[in-house]
């Protein structure tokens, strides 16, 4: 299917259709749902990182006011294992045995009449442990290593020989910290059983996956499970898995035969819903003196929990980022006693891009070359892995527009050469890319007797604007004003959707909505074209289009009739069509699937005496294919940029190296970028609709973060002359 070339690259930047509900406080988030007769749960967490539970004393908790039950591994319902998804296996089931593998592991679940009673009683549970020595450093040689579990390691050419003979070589090691997703909304679950039918309100970015997981865990058909997620208070990847607390809540509700609700606390979020894994990366680069890359060797070691299969191949993007004949990428994981890691905005690419783009900046300085010129010299319009052209890549335009808007050519390339009073001024830049990702998706479109339309899919809107952009897309396909189209989501009973993650939902869901709407228009056309009373009698359904709520001969709006008239004459209250999308196949297209690209330019100011770093300017130029809504897309890049500033300068989940306890598990102690840390952000979109799919979109949720950390790090080097290879960059490191 070819791209809809007649559609504009940039869609109307209308405000969010769900905005009024959010700003007036009427949008129902998972923690807002309650039903009569519900009980409340509270988790009890382990205070050791490794060992086993010798005894759990629950008597005081059971005798506390309002307590209904205390679930432990000794009395909990035995449940099954969740599915393996495209993101890996399901997290371990809760309360399976007496083994403890990380601090904060759920070891008991208290249910009481009120949330306060459950919380108070949870503090009364006492655990005696047989303590084992925890493994807490992923570089510890005793840690079990997992080697290329998803077969994503790559190799081409002869990197070792090319490095040996290269005119210029650079070898460097980069470290990225453990970050915690920290969405504003606390994760919550409300579980209600009616016989063998389960309804769950949950904080999730993937209702269909939660439905499948709960069905497998409790041994019931998927049709007996309904998951509702109309709004999500943020996720950044934390909502892409069905976590143990979700199973615990549903388990308690089934055992007690009454609804149970759980809302995690902020400290519990740090150990219950994932985090970005820490890692160390070693890069070796070989180049000619003119700056042509001849070899890239990128290897990483990444933290992994004891009982999980989360995988983030840090080095994978290096395999196709630049033109280079000899490349090897290798990723390893080390099992240690930490809570389960998970995807966090721009997973793998955020970390891998930091190492690669920092190393290229170092190489440029060794060569005495402009860092932008080095990237331009090694740009590739084809996928180096297979020689196929990209389905859409405007990275050269990103460089050109970004450099001009930022004033890159005005920099003095000498480190520590630019000042403004006591502030050292530094310019840095980096390329950005997030690889293409998509999964099968379905949607349903209906036009009603009053001329309004309803489009539905079991997706979620995590704040990215899905409600809005899908309504816009459907309105355009159906020839209706946006005000006449309602898009419903967040219900697993609706047509199956992929997750809101990996920058894949807009493309996959958009193509499904496109398909459903096109099928629906054709259904109307077939009714009209075979109707003796219709002005379209005898016209081929292939020759019609729709505008203004009317199906008409293409280019002839005077020859046609409205949806309302067609439905009325056929005595129909509505007409419905279903649509689907499946991921395109590169070999069938003759093109490699291109993700979003970008160029990031950053100015920093560093206090010459104190080492205080301030980000002064950021210019982000993005190739996101066809942009459905300029306002929501820009918001995504702004949000990603703020996350990138946090990753570069502030965010680090600090774990006690002796006990495994997270030492900064609150918003008072875990630093995130706030308004005072964020300058005016310049965002520009360039490029053309992507050629791989009908709608021409890519997805910009992740690429906004990618490239920000290395651009900041490179700017700090330019300002100070100090090359820092560990994130976050802190005052003590500069001083």
The catalytic residue positions are 702
Task: Say whether the peptide bond before residue 371 is cis (omega within 30 degrees of 0).
Answer: no
| 317 DSSP 8-state letter | G
Alpha-carbon distance of 516 to 580, in angstroms, equals: 7
CB-based contact 449:483 (threshold 8 Å): no
Alpha-carbon distance of 153 to 156, in angstroms, equals: 11
Q: 128: exposed, middle or buried (C-beta count within 10 Å: 0-12, 13-18, 19+)?
A: exposed
SS3 call for 213: helix
Handedness of CA 43, 46, 50, 55 (dihedral sign): negative
Cα dihedral: 336, 337, 343, 348 (round 10): -20
| 157 DSSP 8-state letter | S
Instruction: Tell me the β-bridge partners of 705.
Output: none
Residue 61: which H helix or E strand, with range? helix 59-62
Strands of 25-138 (E only): list them: 39-45, 51-57, 67-71, 84-85, 88-89, 99-100, 106-112, 126-131
Residue 641: which H helix or E strand, with range? helix 630-649
| 632 DSSP 8-state letter | H
Q: Which of 43, 64, 95, 37 is nearest to 263 (CA)?
A: 43
Q: Which of 655, 682, 56, 15 is nearest to 341 (CA)?
A: 655
Write the DSSP assignment of 676-730 as a string of letters: GG---EEEEEES---TTSSS-B---TTTTTTTHHHHHHHHHHHHHS----BSS--
Pairing state of beta strands 39-45 and 544-547? unpaired
């Amino acid at each position: 299917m070819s791209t809809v070339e007649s559609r504009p690259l940039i869609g109307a930047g209308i405000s969010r259709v769900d905005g009024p509900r959010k700003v007036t406080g009427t949008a129902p988030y998972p923690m807002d749902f309650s039903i009569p007769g519900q009980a409340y749960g509270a988790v009890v967490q382990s205070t050791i990182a490794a060992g086993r539970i010798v005894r759990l004393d629950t008597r005081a908790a059971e005798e506390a006011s309002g307590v209904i039950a205390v679930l432990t591994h000794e009395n909990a319902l035995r449940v099954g294992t969740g599915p393996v998804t495209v993101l890996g296996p399901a997290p371990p089931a809760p309360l399976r045995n007496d083994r403890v593998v990380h601090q904060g592991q759920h070891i008991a679940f208290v249910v009481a009449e009120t949330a306060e009673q459950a919380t108070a009683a949870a503090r009364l549970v006492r655990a005696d442990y047989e303590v084992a020595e925890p493994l807490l450093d992923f570089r510890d040689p005793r840690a079990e290593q997992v080697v290329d579990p998803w077969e994503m390691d790559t190799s081409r050419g002869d990197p070792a020989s090319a490095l040996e003979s290269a005119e210029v070589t650079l070898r460097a090691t980069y470290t990225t910290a453990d970050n915690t997703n920290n969405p504003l909304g606390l994760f919550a679950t409300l579980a209600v059983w009616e016989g063998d039918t389960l309804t769950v309100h949950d904080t999730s970015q993937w209702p269909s996956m939660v439905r499948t997981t709960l069905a497998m865990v409790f041994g019931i058909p998927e049709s007996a499970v309904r998951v509702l997620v109309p709004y999500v208070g943020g996720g950044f990847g934390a909502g892409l898995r069905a976590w143990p607390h979700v199973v615990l809540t549903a388990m308690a509700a089934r055992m007690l035969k009454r609804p149970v609700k759980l809302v995690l606390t902020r400290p519990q979020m740090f150990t219950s819903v994932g985090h970005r894994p820490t890692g160390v990366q070693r890069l070796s680069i070989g180049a000619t003196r003119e700056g042509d890359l001849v070899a890239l060797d990128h290897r990483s070691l990444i933290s992994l929990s004891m009982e999980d299969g989360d995988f983030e191949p840090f080095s994978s993007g290096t395999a196709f980022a630049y033109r280079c004949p000899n490349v090897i990428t290798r990723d390893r994981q080390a099992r240690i006693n930490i809570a389960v890691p998970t995807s966090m905005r721009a997973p793998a690419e955020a970390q891998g891009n930091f190492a690669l783009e920092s190393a290229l900046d170092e190489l440029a300085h060794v060569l005495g070359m402009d860092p932008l010129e080095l990237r331009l010299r090694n740009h590739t319009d084809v996928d180096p892995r297979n020689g196929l052209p990209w389905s859409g890549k405007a990275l050269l335009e990103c460089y050109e527009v970004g450099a001009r808007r930022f004033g890159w050519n005005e920099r003095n390339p000498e480190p520590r050469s630019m000042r403004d009073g006591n502030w050292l001024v530094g310019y840095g830049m980096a390329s950005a890319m997030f690889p293409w990702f998509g999964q099968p998706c379905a949607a349903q479109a209906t036009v009603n007797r009053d001329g309004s339309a309803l489009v539905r899919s079991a997706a979620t809107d995590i704040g990215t604007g899905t409600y809005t952009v899908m309504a816009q897309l459907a309105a355009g396909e159906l020839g209706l004003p946006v005000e006449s189209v309602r898009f419903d989501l967040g219900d697993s009973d609706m047509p199956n959707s992929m997750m809101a993650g990996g920058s894949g939902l807009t493309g996959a869901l958009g193509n499904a909505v496109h398909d459903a709407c096109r099928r629906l228009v054709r259904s109307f056309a077939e009714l009209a074209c075979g109707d003796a009373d219709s002005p379209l009698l005898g016209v081929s359904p292939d020759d019609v289009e729709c505008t203004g709520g009317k199906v008409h001969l293409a280019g002839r709006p005077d020859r046609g009739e409205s949806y309302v008239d067609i439905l009325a004459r056929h005595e129909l209250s509505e007409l419905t069509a279903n649509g689907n999308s499946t991921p395109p196949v590169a070999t069938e297209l003759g093109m490699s699937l291109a993700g979003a690209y970008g160029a990031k330019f950053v100015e920093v100011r560093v206090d010459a005496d104190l080492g205080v770093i301030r980000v002064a300017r950021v210019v982000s130029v993005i190739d996101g294919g066809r942009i459905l809504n300029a306002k929501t897309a820009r918001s995504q890049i702004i949000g990603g940029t703020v996350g990138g500033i946090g990753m570069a300068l502030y965010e680090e989940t600090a774990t006690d190296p002796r006990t495994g306890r997270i030492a900064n598990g609150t918003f008072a102690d875990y630093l995130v970028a706030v308004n005072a840390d964020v300058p005016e952000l310049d965002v520009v979109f360039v490029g053309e609709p992507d050629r791989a799919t009908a709608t021409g979109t890519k997805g910009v949720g992740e690429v906004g973060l990618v490239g920000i950390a290395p651009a900041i790090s490179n700017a700090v080097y330019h300002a100070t002359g100090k090359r820092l290879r560990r994130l976050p960059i802190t005052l003590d490191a500069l001083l």
